[in-house]
Structure formats: C-alpha cells, structure tokens
Structure 1
Amino acid sequence: MANETINDSLLAYKKRSSDFLAQYKIKESLDYAIKIIDLAYQIDSDTYKTIGHYLMASNYEIVKDFKNVEIHYKESLKYSKQANDSIRILRSLNGLGNVYSEGYKNIDKGLYYYNQSLQIAEKINVESEKLAPILNIGWTYIDEEEFDIAYPYLKRAEKLAKDSGDIVAICDVKYLLGRYYVGKNEMQKANKLFNEVIEDVEEKEILSVLTDTYKAKSDAFKKQDNIDSAYYNINKYLYYKDKLFDEEKLKRIEIANASFSLDKFQRELEVTTKEKEYLAKIAKSNKLITIISIGLMLMLAGIFFFYRGYRSKKKLSKVLEEKNEQLIQAKIEAEKLTSIKSQFISTVSHELRTPLYGVVGITTLLLEDNEIQAKHKKLLNSLKFSGDYLLDLINKVLKISKIESNAEKLTKTPTNLLQLSQNLLYSFEYQAKNRNNELILEVQKELPEVLNVDSLKLSEVLINLIGNSAKFTENGKIWLRVKILSIDKDQITIRYEVEDNGVGIPEDKKEFVFEKFSQVGREFNKSEGTGLGLSIVKNLLEMMNSEIHLDSKEGRGTKFYFDLTLEVIDERGENELNLENSGINQKFRRILVAEDNKINQIVTKNLLNLIGYECTIVENGFNALQMVQKEDFDLILMDLNMPYLNGIEATKRIREFDQTTPIIALTASELSEVKEECLEIGMNDIINKPLNKNDLRDIIAKNLLP
C-alpha cells in the first residue's frame, strides 16, 4: 500500500473514530483507533501514533477504566513529544491530570499535569487549548473546597467557554460557579446558575452534567434545611444517575468486547508478521507458492472474521433475547403491582367514604335546623368542613390512582364554555367573600357557543386551579379568562388563564409544585391542602393533549394557563344541551331505599324529606325484592353493597318482572368502576355517597317517570 493511500485511510479512520466517540459508541471508535495505530506503525508516523493512542485513552476515560487511560495517554505523550506536536503534548498532559485527579485521587499529581498542560498552552498562546486545563484546575479546587483559589480559574474558564461556544464547557463552568456560590452561602446566585444549566442540557439529556447539577442543587437545599427541595432534586439526581448507570453498563459491555478484539488483533498481528517473513524467503525460490499462500491467507482470514462475526452476532442475539425476556417480566410485574395498588386504593376509599357519609350527612341535616344554637352551628360547620376535606382527599387520591392505571378516559360532549365558566366561578363566591376576594370572568365575545370537550375533566382542572388561587389569595382578585388563540369554521384553539394577585410561589418551589403531595409551605398559608390538586391538573391536561404553564413571582401573584384545541359544534347542536327537563311536577311520590347502614338510612330518609319525598327503608336486597313484589314504588334507591342479596343481584331479579320502575344505584365506590355494570343489568342511573341534597334532588327529578 502506498504511503499516500495509507494517509487517506488514516484521515478517514481518525474521523470515524472521533465520530463514534462523540456518539459513545465505544467499540466502533476503538476499532478505528486500533486501525490508526496499526497503519501508523507501518509508515512509522509519530503523529498518527499519538492520535491513535489519544483516541484509545479518550474511549477508556468514558468508562472510567483509568489503568488503560493512563497507559494510552502516556503513549500519546511519548509520540507527541517525538513528533514535537505542542498541542497534542498539552492534551495528553491534561488527560493524565484527569487520571490522577479524578481516577487515582492524587490531587497534587493531577494539578501538576494540569499546570504542565496550561504552561504549554500559554506558551503557544492558543486560547481554545487553555480552556480544558484551566477548567480542570478550577474543578479540582472546588472539589477540595478551596473556593477562593478556584474562583479566578473559573472566571477565566467562563470567558474561554463562551468564546468557544461549547455547550458542555459552558454548562460545566456554570455548574462549578454554582458550587462556588454554595460554598460562599450565596444560595440565590447558585440556584440561578444550576437552573440555567438544567434548562440548557435537560432536553439534550447530557446525563453527566445533569447528574452533577441535580446533586449539587440537592446539597445546596439541604444546607439551607429546605428538605422539600432537597428531596425533589435528589430524586432527579437519582433518576438521571440510573439512566447514566444503564448507559455505562452498555458501554462496559462494548469495552469488554473491544478489549477482547484488541488482544486478538495483537496476536494475529504477531502471527502475520512471522508469516510475512517466511513467505518472503519462499518468494525468492518460488513466486507461484507466494501467490497461492497469500490467496489462502486471505481466504482463511475471511473465514475467520466471518466466523467471529457470526459468533458475536449469535452471542449478541442471545443477550438481546435475555434482556427482552427480562423487560417483559418486569412489565408484567409492574402491571400487576399497579393493579394491586389501584384495587387497594379503591377498596380503602370505599371503606372511608361509608362512615364519612354518616358524618357529612348528619352534619348537613343538623345545619338545616333553624332552631340550633349559634355556638353549636359553628361547631357543626367545623365538623362539616373536616368531613368535606377528608372526602376531597379520598377523591383526589383515587383520581391519581385512576390516571396512573390508565383507567381515566376522555368523554367529549357538546358544552357551552361561557356557561360552564360562569357556574364554576359562581361556586367559589362563598369562599371568595370569606377571604374578601373579587372574582372576575373575562371571556371574548367571539367564543363559539358550543364546543366539543370533556366538560367534567375541564371542570376538575379549573376547580383545582381556582381553588388553589382562592387558598393563597386574601383581600385580592382572582381572574378566570378564556382567550381565543386561533379559530376557523370547525376548530378553535383557546387559552384558559387563572390568575391571582396573592402571595405567589417562591422560586425554589416552582419546579415541583406539580409533583404529588407537594406543598408551598406553611409560612405562606396555614391551610395548605393535600398537595394533589396541581398534580391532577397536570395529568388531566396531558390526557387532553395539553400542558399546564406557570408564571409567578413571590409577593406578586400567580398565573396558571393552558391551551386546548377543540371542535366547534354547529349552533343547531345547542338544543341538544337542554333536552332533559328537570322541572317535573312535585306530586306525592313513593321511594324505596335499600340501605344496610343504620346511619346512612337516617341521613337518606331526612334528605328525602327535605326535598319533598316520602320513603320506605329496607336493610338488604332480599327485602327490597320482596317489597317491590308486594307494593308499587315510583323509584328505588339501591345500595350496591348489602348483606344477603347485594344491589346488583336484587336489581337483576327485579328486572325479571318489573322493567319500568327507575332504579338508582347508591355507591361509595368510584363511579367509573361500577357504572357500566349497573347500566347493563337495568339500573337507570348511579350516584356517589356521601349524598348531598342538591345532587339527590336532581338525579331523582331526572329519573322519575311523569
């Protein structure tokens, strides 16, 4: 092979090795580095020997095999000196600094090599080559908590990094300056720099930078005794560390294969060298034998590499099969655990809702009594507030569980958004008056009257957002806005905004307010809530192909906003929204109540009396069946969980001889879990316990026959 052709190959191999190194494809990069070294020895090029060994060292450094890193950086240093190549000398010295500082924890020797590298960079005055040693010296002093010594190096590195435009170098400098400010107890400056780093690299998933930065943030918050933020950031650190660890394992497999290939290559090289010497002697006496021998060698080499490739592919295929089997098994286990968790939460929520029905129901009934003393009414209001709070917590935990188990589905219906928004804001009037807040609705007049949307989920999102503003605002204003971003005949994109001028959210709390059970802190509000509302908002909006955005300044208020793209319904569809007529004549009606719980019986009976109905109560499904066979009832309220004969079985038997009497299911379970079965067996509707007077009145009016 002519030297010119070899040089062309060396340039190509160098580019490929460098490209694979940038992609963390260690084995491929090493293969080409080995080829560079082989060809460099053939033409005795010190320049390419140092390039080959430098690339070998760089690959080993990624997987932190510092023994091999040291060997190849020293080889690179030796040949770069022979080639009198200053830039490669200083890079090799910098690499050896990494070996001793990071790998062997020999700080003095590490700093020695870094300073040797920096001296050469200063001597040849190449700015771009000064960055690495300066940054590494600063990093070493930061690790040693010598902050004052580190600072001048970091400021020099900051300018050099900006001039270079290298995103990793820029972020490394910011990360180290953040650690410097933590050491100096200037936490606001530190947090700002850490956040800038995360914003720059999180999308690109530069894992090494992310793990370093989140760990530093966690340590900083821990130093301030801010446990919530420290906990959040250590979780993010562990998440990216796990991803990095998985990546590292793959790299180690690659490096093991590459090491094996290198050993084989060296043995094959020795054999080939001996064969060439032997063939050269034979060639003098018989040229034909030489040609045949070379042909045989090429054929055998082809067979050998084909066989080795086959074995590697076979081994890789087996590894992939095993990994795939493990993933399938892990998926099955995860689904099983999710199912068990959902079932547990559902069961517990049912058991909690049932006694709460008694607490909330009896309290409501007592509050309806106008003769009750004022001091007792105050206590009852407190009791009802506590009961409602517990019920809200149970419902939110159940909602989170349903979303996580993918049991929550979108159900779009024609909806008047103006009316929906008015009703939602109106429902907060009492709470607003108590805290001296003004509620303001702003809706553009161009908003179409009817849009296709899951109104229940949208309502839940807005209730949580308005409730959040109401909780953290006093003597202020709360705005609910509906803005049109774009509109055509069939589709509209709107933006919902919920804004307040309350206490606002501190900078260090913003990043985790949407996490489950996260709270802003008692120093800002004494009644924090469950910390689930905003997590539910985030998850529901993701289901609706949207996302929640936050804009807040501490002491100046908070604005949440999200965008929805919705189908515009023809105005003729408006009539479909009001087909149901709840204005049924209030004449004497007989209602049968099947309920086994004594307290629930009292509550339901009194609620029915308050809204103008008489009722007969039975304790189980069997008695309900007997009563319907003997007497006529206008409607049946059927509890689902009863002894002897449950509500499902009782309804099935009633429908064998009575197809007309409306039956409404009463349940403390999540409606979506039982609604389909209830409707399939012939029930007309379903309502959750604890009951409230208005919901009970509406569902009865809806289902009573004229």
Structure 2
Amino acid sequence: MNLLKSLLILIALSCIPNFCVSQPKEPSSRKQRINQLVENDSIIEATSLLHADISRFKANNQPLSLAYTYQTLGSVFSHIESYNTASNYYVEAYHLFDSLNKPKEVDNILTQLSRNYVDGKDYSKFDSIIPIAIQHSTKLGSINVFYSLESKIRKNYFIRDYARTLEEADKALKYLEDFEFSSENKIEKVRLDASYKYYRGVALVNLKQFREGYQVLFKIDPNNFRTYGKENVFPLSQVSTLNYYKFRYFNERTKHLDSANTYLLIADSLKYLAIQDFQHRISKNGDLIYKIITTEKQLQLTNTKRRQQKVLSNAFLLSTIILSLLLTGLIIFFYYFYTNRKRINIINLKLKESNKKLKIIDKERLEFFSILSHELRTPIYGIGGLATLIKQEQSPEKRRSYLNALISSSNYISVLIDNVLQISKVKFENKQLHSKPTNVLQLVKRISSSLKVSANQKGLELYTNVEKTKWDELLLIDGVVLSQILINLSYNAIRYTSKGFVSINLTEQRRTNTHVNILFEIKDSGIGIQSKHRDIIFNAFENKTFLEKNSTGSGLGLYIVKTLLKSYNSEINFVSKPNEGSTFYFDIDFEIAQVASKTNQSSIIQLQSIPTKILVVDDNSINLMVTQKNVEKISGFGSDTASNGREAICLVKEKDYDLVLMDINMPDMDGYEATKHIRLFNPNIPILALTALNSAEIHTKALACGMNHVITKPYDFEEFKSILLSYSHVYQD
C-alpha cells in the first residue's frame, strides 16, 4: 500500500507540472503582455486590451492587425472553453486573412477552428471545415495537417466510431512517417506519434482486436504526452484512460489481479485529479465569461456613444458643406447664366448658317434626284422604243443600227446604276480588291467595244492605244474596279464631246521582276474645264455646277473614280483647256501573275475537249434563259436549269454535274442554304454565285457557305467564259 501511494505521488509530480501554466515572464511587447495575462488567468484584462485593440485597428483601417486580434480573442475564449464565442472570432479572423491573401495565417485559423469545433462537440460544422483545413495544410506542406488529422481522429473517437478512428489513425501514422519534420518540431512528432497510436490502440481494443490493440497501448510512453501540456486536463484523461486499458488487459486477458489493481488505482487517481481540475475550471470560467460579457457590453455602450457623437459631428460638418456648396452653386449658376446667354447667341448664329448649308445641300440632292430621274427615264424610254422599232423594222441594216443604239442605252443605264449604288455604300472607301490574272489589252478591248456604239452615235472617233513590251502578259487586276474607272472616265469624255475624238491610252512606264507600272490616259476634244473649277471637279453633287447648261449626267462619275483609285493607292489628275479638250490620267502598279507551265497549259487544252455539264439555278426565267444561252455558246458546254434551291439540290443528287451556277436571292430557299445542303453530300463540285448583288459582305458570305466564286451581273461574256473554263478545268483535273 505504501508503494502504491509513492507511485501515485510520483505520477502526479511528473504529470501535473506539464499541464499547468508556465511561470510569468517579463513582457517585451503588447502581444507578449496579452499572452502573459492569459497564462496567468487574467482573462478579463486580456480581453479588455484586445477589444481596445479592435476599436483602434478598425478606426485606423488596419485589417491585418485586426485579423491577428480576432485570432488571439478566439484562442482566449477557447482557453476558457467558451467554444461558440471562440468560433465567432476565428471565423472573423479567417475572412480577413483570406481577403488579404495570407495563406499561412488562413492555415493556422482553419486548424484552430477545427480543433475548437471538436472541443465544443459541434460536429456538423467540424465535418464541413475539416476537408478544407486538411487540403489547405497539405498544399502548403504545413505541420498543421497533423493537428487537423488528430482533430478528425478525436471526433470519431468521441462519437464512438472506432472503425473510422482506426482508419484515420492508420492514415495519419503513415503520413507522419513520410513527412520530413524540422529540427525544432522533432519533439512534436514524438507527441503526435504517441497520440495517434493511443487512439489506434483504443480503437483496436473496442473493435475486439485485443492482442494488437494492447500491444500498441503498452508500447506508448506516457511521458510523450507532456509536450502538448497546454490542453487543460486532456493529457490527464489520456494517461488515465491508458492506465485503465492496462487494467483491463491484466484483469480480463491475463487475470493478473495485482497488476490490474495497480493500474486501476493509477487510472482512478488521475481521473479524480482531472475531474477536480475540470470542476475548478468550470466554476472559474463561468465567472470569467460573465465578467467578460459585462465588459463587452460596457465597451459596446461606449462605442455606441462614440458613434452617435461621430454621427452628430458628421451631420454638422455635412450641413456646413452643403450650405457652402449651395452658395458656391448659386454663384456658379449666375456666372454661367450670363456667359451661356452669350454662347447661346453664338450657337444660334452657327445653327442658322448650318441650316442655310443644309437647305443648299437638300436643294442639290433634290436636283440630283431630278437629274437622276431624267437620266434613267431617257434611256429606258429609248430601250422600249428601240425594241418596238426592231420588232417592226424589216431592213437588216436598220435593225442592226437600232440594236446598237439599244446596247448603248443599256450600257449607259448599267454604268449609271453602278454609280448610284457605289455612292450609297457607307464603307465604299474601304473597298477590298479582288485581283486575278488578267490580260490588260483584252480588258481594254472589251471596254472599248462597249463604248464604241455610244461614240458612233455622236459621230466621234474612239481610239485605243496600248504601248506595252509584253502583249500576252497576265497581271493581277480587279477587272470590275478597273473597268468601272475606265468606263466612267470614257463616258464622261463622250458625254461632253460634241465633235472630234475620244482616246484611251495605256503606256508602260517602268518594270521590275514582279511589278509593272502602267499610265492610263483618257483624252477628248470636248468642252474642257476652267482652272477655277479644279477644286470641285471630283466632289459628289457639286461637280456639275461648272458645266451649267452642258450638264446631262448624274455628277457622280469622277467622285467614284477618285474613290476607287484609293484602293490601288493611286490618284486621278487632269490637264484641260476650255473648248479644246481634257486629259485625265493616273498610273497603277500591277503585280505580274505567275504564268502556268506548258505542261499545265497542254492539260487544260486536252480537258477542253471533255464535255462539261452545268446546272444553272435562277428564279427569274429571263435571267435563266440568258445565262443558259451564254453557257451553251462556250464550246463543249451543256446546261440544265432549275428555278429554285430545292430543285437544284435534287438535280445535283440525281445527275453528275461538273459545275453549278447559283443565284443567291431566290424564294423558299436562297442560294446560300442550297449550297450548304449540296456540300453535305458533294463537297467537291464547284459552285459559282451568279448575282446582281455586289459587295464585300456578299463575297464573304458566299465563300463562307461553300461557294467557290462570285460572278456579278451584268458581266462581260469573255470574262464569264474565262471563269467557267478555269473552274471546269480545276474540277475535271
């Protein structure tokens, strides 16, 4: 019995000092002062200082210091076992650290909060936060991961889920074995190892795996629990429980009653000490919590009074500012009232001037549309009359003459409509060129032949002069743009020349390996232009004023020429003498096209002998007839027709066509949709859009839906033929 008493005294003396608070030290800072107050159980003083710090940090906008203060308050309330209050402060600290991007501090808070939830038996909140805490610590490689794992093991132990306790303890021990601890944390590794093995042994015994469980428990050195000595009576409980299981081992397994009684006595004695300490802390903590709550209420009342005083002070300051602003506003108002009256008078004068200009512009536009109406009606009337005369006339020569006149009127209407459409485009000056290999001599010949009828009708000589070193050379040219430039300039020359000549001259100025520069000149012996009108000659709507009674055109041709030449980075200029004539000239750098090899040329010649079958799709019967006839003019070409997109799809499926000419605007199913359907089952057949629409948007949309090329109506037959031959060759080859 004396031996037993001595043993108990030794245990108490060896364990209890490690569970008590440390001796007070001389503080070196406010933080050390607060820590010392907590260790000495001066909780009220510590919380008062911390609440004062909170007020100061909030007022000075110091979120980091405020977060540390919340964390300290959480630790204080956890120390006195007020777990709900501690959790609230931990959560506040967590939000601040997270917003300030402080990962290490967030890691510490999550670990403390997890342990606090376990100690407070708030297991639902613990289950929600513990995966986040473990993940965060693992990512940082922090030792806190082992404290979170220990909290997880304790939670399962407290709810008597011994299977999960065993599973988590095994995982923790494996992770602990692989983790590299720093030298200062080696002692903590020993404590964690003892703690994990303790819970593992207890779990094994309760799962009736007695042999392995008791082996684990008997290997644990109780002294390894001491390094954790600031967890109140918890280590006492561990040592007491450890001795209880040793009692069970000797009592139930080996039937060694003396040893069993010895361990039972030790366990009961330590349990008694733990209960005494727990009851003492409960009594003391209750008083502390009451006093802290009272102190907090006093602080809240003081802060409320301060806020009220601050609100009153701010209200007075705000009213003073408002009165000052009102006074300043009145002064500014009267100042601007007088100054704005002067400005309004000036603006009114400018508006009157602008109104006058707008009226002039409106008058000019009305005049333009009046002229345009006349310009359209005249050739339309002529076309109708000439068609009737051709039908009635029996003489072949007269019918040929009427037919030439009809072609001239048709060409004039086409140019006029093109000009009006071009001038109406908002993005006209950003026109993109669509260049392709072209023989410039052939292009000029086609333009000259279309102009010859108009020139002959006025009794004028039309000359075409081309001075070039390589006649058969192909240049990269946008034929539509260049044709429109030359046709506009030539029609102007014909229109304002009553006798004499009009000539189109091309001169090669310089040449490199890749480019050739050509000078274009359109000369006439017409009415000429006075020097005072040079500034307005290229302006839309204004350029007709200098012509006075000689004007019969729309006034758009030269403006369109100037704008189109910007696409070629070129400028138009002219020389002129009144009543003697004018010369308009410009030069363009053309890129020389790569010439196909003789082998390829010979294969193309051979392919021309292969019959080519084309499907023409158009909802307009006249256009359908004209296109079909033009196709059949080409040697070796035959055609079928379809009047809508659905019919075209069926025919392409049924027959083997070499090429499709597809109108875009059709009812029921337009050309875009028809092309998309055809591409689903025939991705290779060339599909060429044949449309009266001419814009970059149409070209882009056509290529996007699967079309290969866009031919704009009306078109030149030779160019039309060239395009069809090129695509039929590509497909057949």
TM more than 0.5 = no
TM, length-normalised to structure 1: 0.41
From the CA coordinates, give the structure whose radius of gyration is larger. 2
Bigger relative contact order, structure 1 or 2 (CA pairs below 8 A, ≥6 apart): 1
Using structure 2 for the length normalisation, give the TM-score.
0.40
